[in-house]
Structure 1
Amino acid sequence: MSIYGTVEEADKYHAARGRADWAGLSEEQKHQTLISGAVYVDGEYVARINGQLSSYEQERAWPRVGATTCDGVAIPDDVTPQGWREASFEAAYLESKTPGILAPNEDRSVVLTEKTIGPMTKKFKAVSDGSSSGKYFGAIEQAVARFLQPETTATADDSAHYGGSAFWV
């Protein structure tokens, strides 16, 4: 499986942050945690980036064609943003410190939530703490923040795009 960046780039990244424990990992351990980090970052954030994969057989979310930053600056089609690589390095470090921390939290509480605005009520499932995975890693979120597209709020006019009554009650 592929990773973002290289083990050497991750070594420099963690050394610059004084993480001597990263240096103590074997090359195989580093590569394994970098895979986990890349899989986590892609899975957690891919739905919030724009553009399209460069090829059908592409394993990772980057590089992308037609992607922009959150403020509309074009990202070259052949580039994986430095922040995305750094987010995967952060995730890999967390995984190296606490194996399994990036795995989906299967026992989190999912609740049915309703929001009523005027005559419309929207029902949706949500993790009880409001996050998508039940976990929040600030350093990872900060590294990818400028590549995430603003979240939009659905309106009654959007119901046709989402299957009508499937989302609107």
Structure 2
Amino acid sequence: MAAYGTDQGLTDWGAANGYTLTGSITNTVLRERGSAYVDALYGPRFIGKPVAWDQDRAWPRTGASVWGLAIPEDETPQAVINASYAAAFAEDGSPGLLSVTHTPGKAKVLTKVGSLSWTPVQGNGSAASAWMPVLTVADGLLAPFLIGGLHGNGVAAMVV
């Protein structure tokens, strides 16, 4: 698969934001994991639709626009690339963070403290996305590119 961005871009983004990679996982692998995270959590909510039914990643897309400006069908927005870099750095700091494994039927919540008491989780807590970590940096970067997001509706700030 083709990850978003480049190995050098990942290093440069980290340096510009005060992060240093540990070196325990290669940049290429980190970019793959960061890209997979972005696509898994945000892909179905991205504006537009994939250019091809069998493309590796959620971007590039056709029919996508932000703030009234069309996004070329052969480009991936820099914010998407930067969000994948943010995810890659989170993964580097805590390998496995982006690919949480869970068994919904065994999820519990602490409901009493004295003599501890646990209650099974009910409702939407079983959805896979409910168990994925949310990186606020990625959330902010991607908001304008999401269906029902900030694209064209009011004022938005994008941190790059």
What is the distance in 1 between the residues matched to 2:43 and 2:101?
Answer: 18
The one-letter amino acid paired with 1:145 is A
Determine the structure 2 residue equivalent to 1:136.
134
Determine the structure 2 residue equivalent to 1:51.
48
Determine the structure 1 residue equivalent to 2:3.
3
1:58-108, Cα deviation, whole Å (9 max, x unpaired): 100000011123x44321111101110001000000111101100134146
Determine the structure 2 residue equivalent to 1:111.
122
Query: Aligned-pair distance for 1:134?
Result: 4.5
Determine the structure 1 residue equivalent to 2:39.
42
The one-letter amino acid paired with 1:95 is E
Query: Aligned-pair distance for 1:132?
Result: 3.2
The one-letter amino acid paired with 1:143 is L
What is the distance in 2 between the residues matched to 1:133 and 1:47?
Answer: 16
Contact 1:62/1:79 (8 A) holds in 2: yes
The SS at the match of 2:70 is: coil
- 1:39–1:134 Cα change, 3 Å: closer
Determine the structure 2 residue equivalent to 1:93.
89
Residue identity over aligned pairs, in percent, reads: 34
The one-letter amino acid paired with 2:14 is H
Query: Aligned-pair distance for 1:50?
Result: 2.2
Question: Which runs of 5 or more residues in structure 1 are unaligned?
Answer: 113-125, 152-169
Aligned residue pairs: how many? 133
What is the distance in 1 between the residues matched to 2:47 and 2:144?
Answer: 12
Determine the structure 2 residue equivalent to 1:145.
143
The SS at the match of 1:18 is: coil
What is the distance in 2 between the residues matched to 1:133 and 1:78?
Answer: 32
What is the distance in 2 between the residues matched to 1:45 and 1:97?
Answer: 22
1:62 to 44, 49, 59: 59
The one-letter amino acid paired with 1:11 is T
Determine the structure 1 residue equivalent to 2:75.
79
Please say which structure displays the higher CA radius of gyration. Answer: 1
Determine the structure 1 residue equivalent to 2:12.
12
Question: Which runs of 5 or more residues in structure 2 are unaligned?
Answer: 108-120, 150-160
> How does the TM-score come out when normalised to structure 2?
0.73
Contact 2:34/2:84 (8 A) holds in 1: yes
Contact 1:44/1:133 (8 A) holds in 2: no
Contact 1:41/1:88 (8 A) holds in 2: yes
The one-letter amino acid paired with 1:55 is A
What is the distance in 2 between the residues matched to 1:49 and 1:90?
Answer: 18
Contact 2:45/2:146 (8 A) holds in 1: yes
The SS at the match of 2:122 is: strand
